[in-house]
Structure 1
Amino acid sequence: MVMGKAQEKAAGMPLHWKMGIGFAAGLLVGLVVHYLAADAAWIKQVITWVTTPLSTIFLNLIFMLIVPLMFSALVIGVAEMGDVSALGRIGWRTLGYTIVLTGTAVAIGLVMVNVFKPGAGVDPVMAQAMLAENAQRSAQIIASLDNQPTGLEMFLSIVPSNVLAAASSNGAILSLMFFALMFGVGMVLSPAEKVLPLKKVIEGVFEVSMTLIGRVIRLAPYAVACLMFNLVVVFGGEVIVRLGAYVLVVVAALAVHMFISYSIALKLSGRSPLAFFRGTQEATLMAFSTASSNATLPTALRVADQIGLPPKISRFVLTVGATANQNGTSLYEGVTVLFLAQFFGVDLSFGQQVLVMVVCILGGIGTAGVPAGALPVVALICGMVGINPLGIGLILGVHHLLDMCRTALNVTGDLVLTSLVAAHEPAQAEGATALASDRQD
């Protein structure tokens, strides 16, 4: 007991508390500067030469290590399953639960936006001003759609013709995961004694990646402070109140899915929702701060171990889920499309809303787990149902705040998904439940 307290004291303040302090500090200082000296030349210099470079370096360090981490985690997760039938069983369960959770999220969002109709209350003058301010960026986002594969091309692009090219492209992350999946299957099918040295090398890559990210993550509180300062010093209080009705509907829908849908899913997996949310708060806060599922993957993997999820399942499900299980993204896309439809007076039929729901589910699977990864998908869906895609300029002022909120839901959803999948693996479920019970005691 004494040793445990000594170790806890030596560890110092938990990381999520440090990140919370950094978040609050950046928010408060940004608000003060916004209202006292937002137009001062020295503020622009601070943003350009201090806060933006620091936050960018932090995110780049994380993204630099994501490719080796994702590859090694997925390969090891597949290889440790021991047989292809186990992989198939877990893979199909992961896909099934992903569709159910994502479909539920989109349905919640569509119901709430139809009930509260946030687009009907937007000030047209302010909206037009926002469109004018963000016209150039909106055009750039829409132009990026020309480089996005669609239909059969999207399906075929999952199988990479060049693995190195896939590893160097954010948009090809599914291709990289497919290669890692096939590589892991190949290791399972090969003689164990011949692939054992290779497995140890890949395990070494995983450990080195986690160690380096553990060092980098110590910079998170400072990076979070810089990110929040940059956001608030530009928009001030308007980052919260601008398009208030739209923001409230998105946040409320995310909260309903987080605390009701996920609680039900956790009960079905045999876990206490309260203990789960308490145990995963570090990953949730990290996701909220960085607005990136991929950047939060290392933290999510560590948290999964801490709450007693089986490593061989969590490495597989969390790595895949960082790109494929994005409940918050799908919900956000659905609410945003209907909000823009209400604002522009486009009356969407029930069939069109079902189409929006289906595309949002697919879009959640294919959206890159990086900041602002949902915007091109929103523009694409708008064009499909007759809404001016340039309308995304309306929500750019508050997009980053909502991006942070939906990413927090995405990462928490990945951990919920892992709990559901693990609960149906008898040997794993028994050990994980026992460990979770011990941690609660």
Structure 2
Amino acid sequence: MRQLKRINTNTAIVISMVLGVAAGLIGGEAMGQIQFIGDIFFRLVQMGIVPFVMCAIVVAVGGLTARDLSGIGIKGIAWFASSSILASLCGIFAATVFQPGVGLADTELVQNAATTAEATATTWQDTILGFFSSNIISSMSAGAMVPCIVFAIALGLAITFWRTAHGGSCLVFDVVQELEQLLLGIIRGVMTIAPVGIFCYVSAMVGNLGAEVLVPLLKYLLVLGGTVLVFLVVWIVVVCVRCGFNPVRLVAKMWPMSVMALGTISSAVTLPVEMEDAKRKLGLRDDIADLLLPLGMPLNSNGASIHLAVTAITIAQIYGMTFAGFDYLYLAIICTLLSLANAVAPGADIVSLTMIVPQLGLPLSSIGIFAGLTYPVGAIRTILNVDSDVFCALMVAKGEPNGINRELFDS
């Protein structure tokens, strides 16, 4: 019955997305009147996401030995960093070859581009400094996931040492473990209305977007989507070769989390489904999934890296600016670092652009060109963000004793 319910929920989400696109195209801007229902849905889910992720990290780290943490954690971070850098380079290569920004300079869309966004001046030193919070409550309120995770890891380590010194017992660990389950219950309850919320959000976005905005940027969306698709296929091949998986079975078992990512355009909202399916369907060992998947959400945004790279090159092409030599390497590093500063809610693409555009000497008004593409861009990049977290965890698990339950995967 649980499996049937999950299938029905995923089917309902896909149907709601299709109906939302149709309703947006037919109803136009009038559909914007129901966007508040979609916003309510996302707020209901997001209200527990930050504490849920922190609890999951604390429980995962606090339940590991120092040896386990160093091995699994370091390997996971290495895979995160490598895949994100490669994603940025792939985005730069694709945008340079296919030139999605060429020919857009004289279009009405570009000529009338404007934005109310303010530049976010930041250096790589500022980015790293932002990993550490001076006020964890303030960071939780702002939804800043990286400093929240750093604090959760620190608390988890303290719990590990405490349990070692006190015969494995720790009241705080037990409380956090139970709180995690309670928060997960809230999120699961809210997800029962996901099809309604997603329909309202998608229809409003498509209605406000309109064909007159979408058509000039179709090449940009195709390059972005094509690059993400190719990177995703390469990931699947690499994982299947290393782990000995059947690719069709792997894709089928990851379908629910992929649908959730497409529908909600939020890695944070997808995380509970992602963790459950990784353990119960893919056979990923519980402690590996509990540690790496929450860590991967802010630290391994392959889709965001590709999006930033493709968009930066596209804007440069629109305004006749060129990159050469080490400029591409600098851009790849910047895109990778800024992907760590991703917001956990829909609209993260605009936030990211306010960081990277000024650093490259590009006009801030160019952000207005892409302001209406929140949903399609979010859907494209989120599916890779989510799936690549699982792929990295599987690559780590392959090298660990009983890291993957093959009987569970093959069932």
TM-score w.r.t. the length of structure 2 is: 0.93
1:395 alignment counterpart: 370
- The question of 1:20 aligning with 2:20 is answered no
Deviations 1:373-398 (A, max 9, x none): 23343343332232222212122233
Provide the C-alpha distance between the structure 1 equivalents of 2:37 and 2:353, rounded to a whole number of angstroms.
30
CA distance 1:283–1:238, shift in 2 (3 Å) = farther
Provide the C-alpha distance between the structure 2 equivalents of 1:334 and 1:13, rounded to a whole number of angstroms.
35
User: In 2, are the aligned partners of 1:266 and 1:416 still within 8 Å (CA)?
Assistant: no
- The question of 1:226 aligning with 2:192 is answered no
Which has more radius of gyration?
Answer: 1
1:411 alignment counterpart: 386
- Mapping for residues 276-355 of structure 1, pairs under 5 Å: 276-307=250-281, 308-355=283-330
User: In 1, are the aligned partners of 2:341 and 2:352 still within 8 Å (CA)?
Assistant: no
1:139 alignment counterpart: 116
Deviations 1:289-309 (A, max 9, x none): 222111211221222122221
- The question of 1:164 aligning with 2:137 is answered yes
Deviations 1:126-161 (A, max 9, x none): 233440xxx2xx232x34x15xx6443432332322
2:218 alignment counterpart: 244
- The question of 1:435 aligning with 2:408 is answered yes
CA distance 1:301–1:239, shift in 2 (3 Å) = farther
Aligned-partner SS, 1:374:
helix
Provide the C-alpha distance between the structure 1 equivalents of 2:3 and 2:294, rounded to a whole number of angstroms.
32
Provide the C-alpha distance between the structure 1 equivalents of 2:274 and 2:133, rounded to a whole number of angstroms.
27
Provide the C-alpha distance between the structure 1 equivalents of 2:292 and 2:387, rounded to a whole number of angstroms.
12
Matched-pair identity in %: 24
Provide the C-alpha distance between the structure 2 equivalents of 1:13 and 1:92, rounded to a whole number of angstroms.
35
2:340 alignment counterpart: 365
Letter in 2 for 1:102: S
Provide the C-alpha distance between the structure 2 equivalents of 1:61 and 1:223, rounded to a whole number of angstroms.
10
Letter in 2 for 1:281: W
Aligned-partner SS, 2:182:
helix
Deviations 1:262-287 (A, max 9, x none): 33134323333322221111111111
Aligned-partner SS, 1:58:
helix
CA distance 1:130–1:416, shift in 2 (3 Å) = farther
CA distance 1:285–1:8, shift in 2 (3 Å) = closer
What is the aligned length? Answer: 408
2:50 alignment counterpart: 67
Provide the C-alpha distance between the structure 2 equivalents of 1:360 and 1:247, rounded to a whole number of angstroms.
18
Deviations 1:30-85 (A, max 9, x none): 22223xxx5xxxx3xx633xx2221111111111111221111111111222x112
CA distance 1:352–1:153, shift in 2 (3 Å) = closer
- Mapping for residues 107-256 of structure 1, pairs under 5 Å: 107-122=89-104, 124-131=106-113, 135=114, 138-140=115-117, 142-143=118-119, 145=120, 150-170=123-143, 172-190=144-162, 191-193=165-167, 195-238=169-212, 240-256=214-230
Provide the C-alpha distance between the structure 2 equivalents of 1:376 and 1:26, rounded to a whole number of angstroms.
25
Provide the C-alpha distance between the structure 2 equivalents of 1:294 and 1:9, rounded to a whole number of angstroms.
22
Alpha carbon RMSD of aligned pairs, Å? 2.1
User: In 2, are the aligned partners of 1:239 and 1:401 still within 8 Å (CA)?
Assistant: no
CA distance 1:13–1:260, shift in 2 (3 Å) = closer
Report the alpha carbon displacement of residue 235 of structure 1 after superposing the two structures with TM: 2.5
Report the alpha carbon displacement of residue 194 of structure 1 after superposing the two structures with TM: 6.1
User: In 2, are the aligned partners of 1:288 and 1:407 still within 8 Å (CA)?
Assistant: yes
Give the unaligned 5+ runs of structure 2.
Answer: none
- Which stretches of structure 1, 4 residues or longer, exceed 6 Å deviation after superposition? none
2:26 alignment counterpart: 32
CA distance 1:239–1:389, shift in 2 (3 Å) = closer
User: In 2, are the aligned partners of 1:117 and 1:339 still within 8 Å (CA)?
Assistant: yes
Aligned-partner SS, 2:152:
helix
2:35 alignment counterpart: 52
Provide the C-alpha distance between the structure 1 equivalents of 2:306 and 2:402, rounded to a whole number of angstroms.
34
Provide the C-alpha distance between the structure 2 equivalents of 1:108 and 1:98, rounded to a whole number of angstroms.
15
Provide the C-alpha distance between the structure 2 equivalents of 1:130 and 1:164, rounded to a whole number of angstroms.
40
Aligned-partner SS, 1:87:
helix
Give the unaligned 5+ runs of structure 1.
Answer: 1-6
Say which structure is richer in helix.
1
Provide the C-alpha distance between the structure 2 equivalents of 1:8 and 1:187, rounded to a whole number of angstroms.
34
Deviations 1:416-437 (A, max 9, x none): 11111211211323xx223212
